[in-house]
Every structure is written in C-alpha cells, then in structure tokens.
Amino acid sequence: MEKDIRQSLQEHIFRLENRRRELMRPEYLRLGLTIGQGQSRILMYLLTEDGCSQREIAENCHLDVTTLSRTLDRLAEKGLLERRINPQSRRECQIFLTEEGRKTAAEVCSCFRETEKKMCSGLTEKELEALDAGICRMLGNLTEA
C-alpha cells in the first residue's frame, strides 16, 4: 500500500525533529543541558525578556506550568538563573539569568543558528516562506481542533 502525502509529511516532520535533536545533543551535553525539557527555549527567552514571571515563560515557551517549575529548579541548581520576589507583587517571582546563564543562553542561540543554517541549506527564501506558511496553517488547524 502506497503512503499518502499526509502520512509522508507527518513522518518527515517527526524525522526532521529527531535529526535536529541528534545534531544539537552533543552541544547541549557540553553545556550541561537536557534536550527536550525546554531548557534551551527558556534560556533564549530570558536572554531578551529577563525578569519575567513564570507564567510569561510558560506562555511564550509553550511549556506546561508544572514542567516549567521543575525545569526552572534544575536551571537554578546549575547556577544559570535565579528567582527574585517581585517588588510589586510579593506572591510572584521574577526569573533572571545569572552571568553564567547569559553565557550559556548565548551559546544555545549560536547552536540554534548553526543548526538552522544546516537545516535550511539549499532552500531559497521563497521556498522557506512557503514552507513556513504551510506549517503555520497546519499549526493553526491543530490549534482549532
């Protein structure tokens, strides 16, 4: 039985993400990070949004709040971030990168850029735009479902 294009596409997306993770894994290990727990996304987000709340991180990094709390604990244990009480709301913490966290986040960004270059090699800007538009539409379809 021949695969339909939708099955093929789903398989390619799965394999693409797995291969991307394989490529990045050695760099993550060198940095002391765990791939697949959102650590890199959190660090990259804090690089531009330092001092935000846990809720903001969860929303912008698309992470479950429970998972996020444990991940933040791990990053804090590694000395990459710290929690501070929000002076305007004592019930809320603000999350800040440490100096070491800033260095690690910059290295994570560099790793992502290198991986993106490899992944997009040989594709024209027009092809990338079409691919982006298609994936955005698919994501919208799943969000509406």
Distance CA 120, CA 118 (A): 6
pLDDT, position 3: 72
Write down the residue that tokens 């291969």 correspond to.
Answer: 19
Nearest CA to 41 out of 20, 14, 56, 60 is that of: 60
Q: Specify the CATH number of the domain 5-144.
A: 1.10.10.10
Write down the residue that tokens 């846990």 correspond to.
Answer: 54
In the chain, domain spans: 5-144
Distance CA 32, CA 98 (A): 15
- Reduced to 3 states (helix: H, G, I; strand: E, B; else coil), residue 91 is strand
pLDDT, position 90: 79
**DSSP bridge partners of 53:** 94
Please give the chain's pLDDT, 145 residues, in tens. Answer: 567 998 999 999 999 999 999 999 999 999 999 887 799 999 999 999 999 999 999 999 999 888 899 999 999 999 999 999 988 887 889 999 999 999 999 999 999 999 999 999 999 999 999 999 999 999 999 999 8
pLDDT, position 125: 97
Distance CA 138, CA 145 (A): 11
- pTM for the structure as a whole: 0.85
Strand duo 81-86 + 89-97: pairing = antiparallel
pLDDT, position 37: 79
pLDDT, position 2: 60
Distance CA 54, CA 126 (A): 37
pLDDT, position 129: 97
Nearest CA to 61 out of 41, 39, 36 is that of: 41
